[in-house]
Amino acid sequence: MAKAIESGSIFENTKKLFHHALKHVKLSEDALKILEKPKSVLEVGIPVRMDDGRLEVFTGYRVHHNDLLGPTKGGIRYHPAVTLDEIKSLAFLMMMKCAVVGIPFGGAKGGITVDPKHLSRKELERLSRAYIRAIYEFIGPDVDIPAPDVYTNEMIMGWMADEYNKISRKLTPAVITGKPVSLGGSLGRDDATARGAYYILKEYAKKKKLDEKKLTVAVQGFGNAGFHIAKLLHADGYRIVGLSDSQGGIYTKNGRLDPDSIMKVKQHKGKLEGVYCVGTVCDIIDHKKISNEEVLELPVDILIPAAIENQITGRNAGKIKATLICEIANGPATPEADEFLRNKKTIIPDILANAGGVTVSYFEWVQNRAGNYWTLERVHKKLKEFMVNAFNGVTSLAEEKKIDLRTAAYAYASGRLLRAIEAKGTTEYFRE
Ligand code: NAD
């Protein structure tokens, strides 16, 4: 693994964007040394008895990047491509994301190298509980708080919190967020990521005095985040003209796509179709089928990557026509694409655009610790406050320094982290 890092890994690539921002924020040598390295890295073997009697030992990880601003926070990913290098990179991004929105958490991430689609429900439960037994000492409500990520969900978070409680013989709901509401989860967590991005887009439109009803939008990825952002924008009159999922996309040049109707049919038929439904009756609207690559290149005002990483690359960056890109996916643009697009388009970067999820996770942790549960209206109001504050902070810095929003977001987050490091003393202070 160390070799992969030396030879230019995902972790090193992620840090390239941060290094670019360092031209615009004065970080001391001390701060750089602390921010560059993970605080602790845990690799575990997780033995699980499979349904056919075999014993499998899965590999799992948990990385704390640092806890400068509070206990570490980050999701748990189940995917066959999970590596320590990837988990380190995601923990670093979580540190930056929490610092951008100003929530009192450091960055962490966890994962298991597994294809959950090949496990039975019972095997999935055994694996999830065994993972918690393996990392038990590494997590806790004042230490490190996991949450869902790719291919983990609220039921899995419920199993994990339950296993933690059994080991500790105490009920500690604040140890994990993204739990079902009936087990101490927060209202509003389901669409929090999309809603956070929605509040930012609304603020951007207000700032630029854009006529929202005239704006056209394409969304890549029609999962949790992609569906909710399309639905929220559609309800406000934005014209959703392109949508895609892993199997391909649909585009309507003159019409508008109705996210609810399309989701209804997708759940039934397993694929996207250009339909408009009233009750149970669905009509086909004028549209054409397009590929996943074509969705990114549509002639729209706003492009929202909400699928997976590395979709916008040096190869297709020049073909993007949207003037605004709002990154809901983590790392949808490679460093090469970012460099090409940086001064040509407005990019609302992932660490700002998709921070709504971790912000509502923070609200869940606060509610669990207080034993006092919020209404949905309160969750939305507080989420809007955090997202708009972060957006205003980042855009002001971008305007002041004449830099792009990604660079500004990293610089803004680094400023917060720097102040926490320097509050404990600097080299100058100790050099008497
Ligand atoms: P999801 O699994 O619910 O949805 C992903 C969607 O992307 C699916 O519809 C899938 O079909 C589609 N997809 C996969 N490969 C694709 C491709 N090549 N082209 C087009 N579509 C493709 O996941 P999600 O929770 O919606 O997360 C989406 C992205 O947002 C991820 O990058 C995730 O890390 C990021 N994110 C999500 C949250 C959250 O709270 N859900 C928070 C922060 C960041």
Pocket test for ligand 1, best of 308, 316, 350, 351 (most atoms within 8 A of CB): 308
In this prediction, residue 219 has a pLDDT band, given cuts at 50, 70 and 90, of very high
Q: What angle do CA 400, 348, 383 make, to 5 degrees?
A: 95
- Which atom in ligand 1 lies closest to the alpha carbon of residue 222? 9
CA 232 to chain centre: 18
- Residue that wins the pLDDT comparison between 335 and 257: 257
- Tell me the pTM: 0.94
Q: How confident is the model at residue 214, as a pLDDT?
A: 95
Strands 106-113 and 55-66: antiparallel
pLDDT (0 to 100) of residue 6:
31
Instruction: Give the rounded percent of residues in the chain with a pLDDT score beyond 70.
Output: 98
What is the best residue among 224, 266, 271, 296 to mutate for testing ligand 1's pocket, by most ligand atoms within 8 Å of CB?
A: 224
Q: Report pLDDT digits (tens) over 338-397.
A: 999 998 999 999 999 999 999 999 999 999 999 999 999 999 999 999 999 999 999 999
Q: Is the pLDDT of residue 332 over 90?
A: yes
Q: Each residue of 168-185: pLDDT tens digit?
A: 999 999 999 999 999 999
Q: Which of 282, 234, 281 is nearest to 258 (CA)?
A: 234
Q: What is the 3-state secondary structure (H, E, C) of 321-384?
A: CCCEEECCCCCCECHHHHHHHCCCCEEECHHHHCCHHHHHHHHHHHHHHHCCCCCHHHHHHHHH
Look at the domain 192-353 and name its fold: Rossmann fold (3.40.50)
209 CA → ligand 1 middle, Å: 30
Contacts of 76 (CB under 8 A, 6+ apart): 109, 110, 111, 112, 131, 146, 147, 148, 149, 152, 156, 160
Count of Cβ atoms closer than 10 Å to residue 344 Cβ: 12
Mean pLDDT of the chain: 94
Contact 90, 9 (CB under 8 A): no
Q: Where in the chain is the domain with CATH 3.40.50.720?
A: 192-353
Tell me which residue has tokens 């549509």.
298
Q: Where in the chain is the domain with CATH 3.40.50.10860?
A: 37-173
Q: What are phi and psi of 77, to 5 degrees?
A: -110, 135
Residues 37-173: name the CATH superfamily. Leucine Dehydrogenase, chain A, domain 1 (3.40.50.10860)
Q: Is the pLDDT of residue 2 over 70?
A: no
Strand, coil or helix: what is 273? coil
